[in-house]
Amino acid sequence: MYWPIDLIVLTFVIFCAIAAIVVKDLLATAILFGAYSFMMCLLWAVMGAVDVAFTEASVGAGVSTVFFVAAIFRTSRRTKD
Amino acid sequence: MKFLGFIVVGLAGAILLYGTGDFPDWGDPYSPASLHISKDYIEKALDQTKVPNIVTAVLADYRGFDTMFETAVIFTAGLACFLLLRDFREKKERFYRHTPTGVILHVKAGKKILDGGKEFEYMDKDWVPSDLIIKTVCRILIPFIQIYALYVVAHGDFSPGGGFQGGVIFGSSLILLAISYNLKTLVKRISEKMLGVYAALGVLIYLGIGVICMLMGGQFLDYAKLAPLIPFDSNHIRALGMLGIEIGVGIAVTAVMAIIYINIVSEGRHDEGL
Amino acid sequence: MDNYPVLIVVAPLLAALLAGFAAWIEERLSYPIALLGLAVSTFAAFEVLMQVIFFGPIRYEMAGWPPPMGIEYRIDLLNAMVLLIVSGIAFLNLLASYESVNQEIGDRTGSFYSIYCLFVTGLLGVTATGDLFNLYVLIEITSLTSYAMVAMGDRDRGALASLNYVFIGVIGASFYLLGVGYLYIQTGSLNMTDVAIILQDYHGSSTVLTAFVLCMVGVWIKMAFFPLHAWLPNAYSYSPVVFLRVVAPLMTKVMIYVMIRLMITVFGFNYIFKTLNFADAVVILATVAIIFGGVMALAQKNLKKMLAYIIISEIGYMVGGVWMGNQLGMTGAILHILNDALMTFAVFLGVGNIIYQLKDVDFSNLGGLFGKMPWTMAGFVLAAFSIIGIPPTCGFFSKWYLIMGAFEKGAYHFAIALIISSLICAVLFFRVFEICFFPSSSQDNKQKDVHAPGKIEEAPVSMLIVSGFVSLSLIVVGLFSGTIVNMIILPFLT
Amino acid sequence: MTDLLALIVAKYNYWLYVILMMIGLYAMIAKNNLIKKLVGMNIFQTAIILFYISIGYKKNATLPIIENVHGTGGGHIYAIDYINPLPHVLMLTAIVVSVATFGVAMALAVRVYQRYKTLEEDELRMRLSEK
């Protein structure tokens, strides 16, 4: 594995994390959070943790996002920060 | 609050960075973490368990006791969502759609549930006309997703995957059904009672295998002691034991994912959702 | 039988699952199943304690793999004692709570019993395990069940209190997990004894120091030690009383146990008290915790909240005793785990009985309770005496050891804080007695008709019997303190 | 200079995990919206998972799945050829725990919203002090 690839993905991960907590629309947060999880999954796959990456892809990027959207559907999208 | 946040975060970050000072280099194959027990796992797992995926071997056998409690955590989450959100009260207002004409009836509180035969269709409050393409595509997709989930469960010994991942995929196929059709369709297919029973059953399979090992005179979860019960293929007895518990985990996770989704999306009333 | 150690943990888990089944099929069966599971667990814990006392520590290898590779249960005198306390109190509490569960939980009792058993499983597993990561998983089981339970209690505020508890609880558990990670990167092992052996070569390492700090902060958050205590009063005062009676005596005590276990077995006293030198700071923090808990308790107008702050103060006793670093302080702290569990349980049994009748324990409602519920109040008074530390009851003896330990170390501020705290407790409880003794004039007329003075309205018999039994055991344990110290604690420490 | 670069290459993974963890912790403490706090909680937990996975990585090693089981391989298995599987196992469990916590927390958030019709902390505090 080449460390530049790793570094680029890590930068993306941090970018997604900051964006997810800064953006002012919770639905956007949900999607950015899904992207974050998927980037994370990519990172772990690159590091050879295939089982963990598989789990994160199905849980973090999949089911968690669905729970998230469901909860937003039942609460509200608006947020002040 | 923001100021406090910065202080706490800065402090925690400083402590953690200080701790990294004595870490071995990243990716160093001679770090203590790679030398002590992980060496034994890698070199002995195939001989001892006959499972080529070392992660599964460690997860389900060497540290199988952890995984049992992990399944119990999942069961707890399902139970907690049920306890927190489930609302058995009847909903007051209902909407029905007359299929031939498209007229929508709004039934207010106190009225009997409309029983107008097949022409009237119960519908959600935020109903939108269902899309033929989405319905058809999902209908075709769901069986394949489920087959894939079963493959992931069954093939966890040889490739990435296992009970948990397979269970999540199976659970998401159920959630897909609920999203593409509506929540009622899912609840009609698998009742709440069945989901509750499956969730407990999955963990019980895991625990049961452990207890049977104990009754056969071994330690808890010692699959080797199952050999007299399974006369064929006693060479792979540990792999078979792992398959058994993976199936249990898969069942429990499937049921719990569906329970959490249904309860959150319908606020515990199990009538309408996304 | 060789399998007793694992049976302690597996029996409640099995009971939880079967109760979960029964919740869907025949709800009335859940209660006996849960009771049976906890009874088996208590019996096994008793057998294990006897074995450990007479034959020495027990090791149980899960799945038959030898320890560094597999997970092991390693039960010595300290574990065995805490296991018996946890399973015994959980069993007795369930015995006493059939009526209050029906009253408080209503339509989903089956699931309630299931989650109750899971909570007890988590506590027992935390106590029995000899593996650092297994400990984390079980802490998470106890936390998840507590989140659900706290939200079950007060319909209005429970959910919010519980959500705040989730945030803090996750931070605590994650810090612990990070600490384990730092230990793992340095040692490559997760087994406690194995880690301890490897750590002896790394005493100067910054990674080990960070691991120690992270583990301690994580455990302190979970036990609500002073600066990190903010979640406890709300979470405890909004949870249903059945759960409160088991979480208040057990959760914090088990976390204290985890702290002692990490300090003694994993890091070792040499590392903590010779290599590092912040033991004095922790003792000062404990002193502050004791005073702070007492003062805050004085300001409360609700019995539950007042007791919650007393718990914070009691945590200060035990943490201070452990960090004293000498044998007397340690003896006091360990004895106090037993005593405090018993007396908190006894006092909350009293509170439970009162809530069963009155629904509310604001001080304004408590007037004339001695007349109405004489037996309940008798138990409550005994428990209160024990918390204050009046001689024949057990609370006195552990305080005595703690004060002696403080003098030996020269930590006079800690000893003074203990005495002040006892005085504050005396003030607190005698104020409660005073309110309960005289029928309050502020009661409105409707209530006066129902609760005419002199009329006895006691809680159900099962609750009274358990309450009486536990209150008497306070005196018995107090009288046999010497035996307990000589048979269990001193052999463990030497 | 080359020393510094070598240090960065050797440790940057650990540093970035610390940054990620600080982002999560900051969101949990300082954000006003409860759902945002939950996102912070999840970022915090995944950062820890990243840390563990970084521990397990070995240069020039392959996935912890042994090939050639049925074939003629048969030779000795050397630990240096395979990535450390133990952190992966631990983190599988940790992911499961985190999704379980996330589900329960979401359920709690829905309950809070049912009761107070808001998820902003300052508004919640105002509602609580009204009574």
D126/B contact by beta carbon, under 8 A? no
> Taking CB atoms and an 8 Å cutoff, what residues of chain A touch D102?
64, 67
pLDDT at C345: 92
- Which positions in chain B touch C65 (Cβ < 8 Å)? 61-62
D65 pLDDT band, cuts 50/70/90, is confident
**Is it the case that chain D and chain B have 3 or more CB pairs lying under 8 Å apart?**
yes
CB-CB neighbors (< 8 A) of B63 in chain C:
70-71, 133
Give residue D72's pLDDT. 47
Using a CB–CB cutoff of 8 Å, tell me whether A58 touches chain D.
Answer: no
Give residue-wise pLDDT tens across range C6-57. Answer: 899 999 999 999 998 888 888 888 899 999 999 999 999 999 999 999 988 8
DSSP C27: G
Tokens at residue C437, please?
Answer: 């003794």
Partner-chain residue, chosen from C24, C68, C182, that has the shortest CB–CB distance to B196: C24
pLDDT band at C466 (very low <50, low <70, confident <90, very high): confident
What share of chain B in percent tops pLDDT 90? 28
- Chains touching C (3+ CB pairs < 8 Å): B, D
Rounded to whole angstroms, the Cα distance separating D65 from D62 reads 8
**Cα angle, residue B78 at apex, residues B76 and B84 outer, rounded to 5°:** 95
**pLDDT band of B205, cuts 50, 70, 90:** very high
B66 and D78: CB-CB below 8 Å? no
Which CATH number describes the domain made up of D2-60+78-130? 1.10.287.3510
Q: What is the pLDDT of residue B218?
A: 83
Residues A27-79: pLDDT tens digits? 999 999 999 999 999 888 888 888 999 999 999 888 999 999 999 988 888 88
Mean pLDDT of all residues in B68-94: 86
Q: Which candidate, D55, B220, B195, B229, places its Cα nearest to that of C71? A: B220
Average pLDDT for chain D:
84
DSSP letter, residue B228: T
d(CA C422, CA C387): 8
Q: Helices B192-215 and C4-25 meet at what angle, rounded to 10?
A: 160
The two three-digit tokens of residue C471, written as one number:
């209150």
Phi-psi region of C240 (alpha: psi -120 to 50; beta: other; left: phi over 0): beta
Are the Cβ atoms of B165 and A74 closer than 8 angstroms? no
CB atoms within 10 A of CB A61: 18
Cβ of D25 within 8 Å of Cβ of B43? The answer is: no
B78 falls in which pLDDT band (50, 70, 90)?
Answer: very high
* Partner residue opposite B168 with nearest CB, options A53, A58, A73: A58
Check if the beta carbon of residue C373 is closer than 8 Å to that of residue C451: no
The confidence score (pLDDT) of residue C448 equals: 47
Using the predicted structure, report yes or no on whether residue B222 has a pLDDT greater than 70: yes
The model carries a pTM of 0.94
| Rounded average pLDDT over C113-123 | 93
Q: Place C287 in a pLDDT band, splitting at 50, 70 and 90.
A: very high
Q: Is B142 within 8 Å of chain C by CB?
A: no
Judge whether D13 is closer than 8 Å to chain B, CB to CB.
yes
Task: Count Cα neighbours of B43 within 13 Å in the Cβ-side half-sphere.
Answer: 11
The answer to whether the CB atoms of D56 and A47 lie below 8 A apart is yes
Q: Does the pLDDT value for residue A8 go beyond 90?
A: no
Q: What is the mean pLDDT of residues B214-235?
A: 82
Q: How far is D111 from chain C (nearest CA, A)?
A: 6
Contact D105 C163 (CB under 8 A): yes
Identify whether the C-beta of residue B17 lies closer than 8 Å to the C-beta of residue D21: no
Which amino acid appears at position C380 of this protein? F
pLDDT band at D56 (very low <50, low <70, confident <90, very high): confident
Closest by CA to A73, choosing from B94, B77, D113, is D113
DSSP string, C272-306: IIII---HHHHHHHHHHHHHHHHHHHHT-SBHHHH
Q: In chain C, what percentage of residues exceed pLDDT 90?
A: 32
- The CA-atom distances, in angstroms, between B2 and each of B9, B28, C118, C160, D44 are 10, 39, 37, 21, 17
Instruction: Answer yes or no: is pLDDT of C480 > 50.
Output: yes
For the cut 50, the answer to whether the pLDDT of residue D5 exceeds it is yes
The domain locations on chain D are 2-60+78-130
pLDDT at C124 over 90: yes
DSSP symbol at D33: B
CATH of span C1-130: 1.20.120
pLDDT of residue B118 exceeding 70, the answer is no
CA–CA distance, C17 with C140 (Å, rounded to integer):
18
D130, pLDDT greater than 80: no
**DSSP-assigned letters across all residues of C429-443:** HHHHHHHHHSPPTTS
What is the helix (H) or strand (E) element at residue B99, kind and residue range? none
- Partners of D103 on chain C (C-beta within 8 Å) are none
Q: Which of C210, C215, C228 to mutate to test the interface with B (most CBs of B within 10 A)?
A: C210
Is residue C55 within 8 Å of residue C137, measured between CB atoms?
A: no
Mean pLDDT of C399-411: 89
B122 vs C72 pLDDT, higher one: C72
Residues 88 through 117 of chain D touching chain B, CB cutoff 8 Å: 88-89, 92-93, 96-97, 99-101, 103-104, 106-108, 110-111, 114
pLDDT in tens, C413-450: 999 999 999 999 999 888 888 888 877 655 544 454 44
State how far residue D62 is from chain A, nearest Cα, in angstroms.
Answer: 7
Give this complex's ipTM: 0.93
Mean pLDDT over the full length of chain C: 87
pLDDT at res. C24: 85
Q: Please tell me the predicted confidence (pLDDT) of residue C442.
A: 52
pLDDT in tens, C56-108: 888 888 888 888 888 889 898 998 999 999 999 999 999 888 888 888 877 78
Q: What is the pLDDT of residues D74-85, one digit of tens each?
A: 567 777 888 888
Residue C290: pLDDT band with limits 50, 70, 90: very high
Query: How close A2 gets to chain D, by Cα (Å)?
Result: 10
What's the CA gap between B257 and B145, in Å, rounded? 15
Whose tokens are 């005495």? That residue is C419
Length of chain C: 494
Banded pLDDT at C234 (limits 50, 70, 90): confident
Q: Mean pLDDT across the stretch C144-167?
A: 87
3-state secondary structure of A9: helix
Number of residues that make up chain D: 131
Query: Taking CB atoms and an 8 Å cutoff, what residues of chain B touch D82?
Result: 42, 54
- Amino acid in the structure at residue B114: L
The angle that helices C158-187 and D34-56 make with each other, rounded to 10 degrees, is 10
Identify the chains in contact with D, defined as 3+ C-beta pairs within 8 A. Answer: A, B, C
Closest CA to C283 of C219, C230, C330, C218: C330
Contacts by B91-94 with C-beta closer than 8 Å and gap 24+?
B91/B269, B91/B271, B93/B125, B94/B122
Q: Edge-to-edge strands of the sheet including B94-98?
A: B103-107, B94-98, B120-123
Question: CB–CB of D87 and C157 under 8 A?
Answer: no
- Of C9-23, C154-168, C386-400, the range with the highest mean pLDDT is C9-23
What's the pLDDT score for residue C88?
93
Q: Any chain C CB within 8 A of the CB of D102?
A: no
Residue B44, amino acid: K
Backbone angles phi, psi at D115, to 5 degrees: -80, -45
Specify the pLDDT at position B112: 57
pLDDT value at residue B166: 93
For range B88-107, the mean pLDDT: 75
DSSP state at residue C316: H
Query: Inter-chain contact C17–B200, Cβ cutoff 8 Å?
Result: yes
Domain boundaries, chain B: 48-88+128-265
Instruction: State residue D1's pLDDT score.
Output: 60
A5, A8, A14, A21, best to mutate vs chain D, most D CBs in 10 Å: A21
Considering CB atoms only, which of C6, C186, C210 is closest to B32?
Answer: C186
| Contact residues, chain A, for B53 at CB < 8 Å | 51
Q: Is residue C452's pLDDT more than 60?
A: no
CA dihedral B26, B30, B36, B38 (to 10 degrees): 60
| Contact (CB<8Å) D58/B34 | yes
Closest residue in D to A18 (Cα–Cα): D23
CA C372 to chain centre: 30
